[in-house]
């Protein structure tokens, strides 16, 4: 079920298969997303990293590329609270539990949602294709540790 992590060339081929043109900017974006693994990157972070090798690639191009890749289903989009949108390669679909106290996030395998999907199907005939959920709550550490400074506060 979980596709093995693809190579850059796989991704690039996939991209061309969808009728998108093979450009340096796009290769760079895919390369960075590949390096990032399951980390989530914003358009800006992505652009910054790309600038190291390709100073000419413009932020707006990164946005356009991300749009294209998302539309093509190559990447997934995740939005956390009021932070800027983040992206990561599709195929590694997962969800998040975010601690509202300390900001910690736990990655959850896609299948945690299975029961919900079943229920939606049964009750509403709704075929769920959950791409990215964020479940808020309190992590174990904060539950018993109670008050504690927040590492990734706004």
Positions in the binding site for its own copies (CB under 8 A): 79, 82, 85, 97, 99-100, 106, 108, 112-113, 115-116, 119-120, 124-131, 133-140, 143
Cα–Cα distance list, 143 to 19, 108, 152 (Å): 50, 19, 17
Nearest approach in angstroms of CB 29 to DNA is 8
Using DSSP's 3-state secondary structure scheme, residue 42 falls into: strand
- CB closer to DNA out of 56 and 147: 56
- CB closer to DNA out of 73 and 84: 84
Nearest approach in angstroms of CB 66 to its own copies is 13
d(C-alpha 149, C-alpha 24), whole Å: 43
Ramachandran assignment for 98, one of left (phi > 0), alpha (psi -120 to 50 degrees), beta (any other): beta
Within positions 32 to 91, which residues make up the interface with DNA, using CB under 7 A?
42-44, 54, 56-61, 63-65, 67-68, 82, 84-85
Within positions 7 to 26, which residues make up the interface with DNA, using CB under 7 A?
16, 20-26
For residue 85, count other CB atoms closer than 10 A to its CB: 15
């Amino acid at each position: 079920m979980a596709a093995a992590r693809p190579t850059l060339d796989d991704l690039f081929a996939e991209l061309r298969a969808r009728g998108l043109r093979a450009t340096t900017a796009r290769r760079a974006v895919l390369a960075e997303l590949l390096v990032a693994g399951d980390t989530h990157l914003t358009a800006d972070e992505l652009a910054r990293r790309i600038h190291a090798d390709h100073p000419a690639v413009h932020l707006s191009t990164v946005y356009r590329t991300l749009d294209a890749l998302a539309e093509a289903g190559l990447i997934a989009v995740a939005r956390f609270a009021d932070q800027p949108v983040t992206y990561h390669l599709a195929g590694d679909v997962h969800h998040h539990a975010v601690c509202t106290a300390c900001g910690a996030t736990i990655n959850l395998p896609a299948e945690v949602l299975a029961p919900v999907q079943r229920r939606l199907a049964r009750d509403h005939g709704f075929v769920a294709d959950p791409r990215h959920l964020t479940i808020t709550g309190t992590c174990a550490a904060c539950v018993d540790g109670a008050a504690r400074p927040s590492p990734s506060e706004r």
